[in-house]
Amino acid sequence: MRALVAWRILTHEVSRSILAVLGIFAAVVLVFLQLGFYSSVPRGSMIVYGALDFDLALTSRDYSFQIRPGDFPKRRLLQTLAAPEVASVAPLYQSFGRWLNIEGHLQREIFVLGVDPGDRLFLNPAIQSWMPALKQPDTAIVDDSTRDEFGPRSAGTQIEVNNRAMKIVGEYSLGTGFLGNGLMIVSDQTFVRLFPDNTFDNVQFGVVKLRPGSDPEAATARLRSVLPSDTQIFTSASFTEHEQGYWLNSTSTGLVFGFGTVVAGLVGAVILFQTLSTMILRNIKEYAVLKAMGYTNSYLTGIVISQALLLSLVAFGPAIGASYGLYDVTRQATFLPVYMSNQRIVWTFVATLAIACIGALISVRTLKRADPADLF
């Protein structure tokens, strides 16, 4: 009965109800966008590391995150082989280079990974298949999400990085995450030629594979007791937690997106409060009549809550569709891994209904003005 009365009130003033639906629609879309951005932070931070096949990670003690990794002696990798659990180790070199767009005569910063082509570092078979081609000197493979401003990147294209002529031998699909506008992979030999200050004696990241059945925690504890303090050792899980935690908690990126989600929810509550308060005031006499007939304040509150829930339900469906479209546009424009998930839809739906109830409960204070005595 209360839902029916609520529906009649909403359909009685269609134009105002449509405006309310549009306001809630905008708030829900904003929540979806902020949640999409927020969830892209941990994904974006692990795009490259997540493609590596490792059980343990070695980093410098000064390691902050991938863009500022620091370096440590390469011999630390060889020392890990003394542990019986360790099956193999491999270095990963990382740095920013200056890419020259020869056609446009523009320089752009690109993130460069240096690997030994003989190592099996990548879980992505497409990337691993290009490793033999990188054995040729001064060759590179380029991520296909590298922006067009870098110029042509097809196989066979001649490029210039750090004033050194190079040749692109292929492209791969991975993504650049928060590493900037471009990403390329070269051999360790080519990397040292591009960055003369980075010798083979120092590396930025160590990839460690354990023997089958080994306990990563036990191997980590053993290595920490052996290796000097200039090197940090992580399990794959703890390193992921460290990298994602840095972006979520220590940078403005995660904080802004998280705060934006809260603001979007508050905007939705305010829109509902204002809409419902206006509707109550415009129908104050009708509510007074219902009170005179014996209907309680709790019953009338149920009508207002039903109005809020109906408005939210009508707005939520189109908001999902619009959010899918905006996610696609965002991925194409920023290359961030912004994707919709069923879990996010469910939790956003629950949050929308909760916000609707909160907005309704705040607005019902206006019902106190509905006094049957005013009817006489």
- pTM score of the predicted model: 0.78
Instruction: Answer with the residue of higher pLDDT: 11 or 166.
Output: 166
- Which residues lie closer than 8 Å to 179 by C-beta, 6 or more apart? 47, 48, 66, 67, 111
Task: Look up tokens 């934006």; give the residue.
Answer: 260
> DSSP letters of 263-325?
HHHHHHHHHHHHHHHHHHHHTHHHHHHHHHTT--HHHHHHHHHHHHHHHHHHHHHHHHHHHHH
In one-letter notation, the amino acid at residue 223 is L
Given this model, what pLDDT does residue 138 score? 92
Q: How confident is the model at residue 193 (pLDDT cuts 50, 70, 90)?
A: very high
> DSSP letters of 151-164?
---STT-EEEETTE
Q: What are the tens digits of pLDDT across the range 19-74?
A: 888 888 888 888 888 888 888 887 888 888 989 999 999 999 999 888 888 899 99
Instruction: Answer with the residue of higher pLDDT: 208 or 252.
Output: 208
170 sits in which H/E element: strand 164-172
The CA distances from residue 357 to 148, 287, 302, 320, in Å, are 48, 19, 10, 20
Cα distance between residue 31 and residue 44, in whole Å: 20
Cα distance between residue 190 and residue 138, in whole Å: 5
Half-sphere exposure of 291 (CA within 13 A, CB side): 19
Tell me: pLDDT of 211 over 70: yes
Q: Check if the beta carbon of residue 60 is closer than 8 Å to that of residue 72.
A: yes
Given this model, what pLDDT does residue 372 score? 59
Phi, then psi, of 213 in degrees rounded to 5: 90, -5
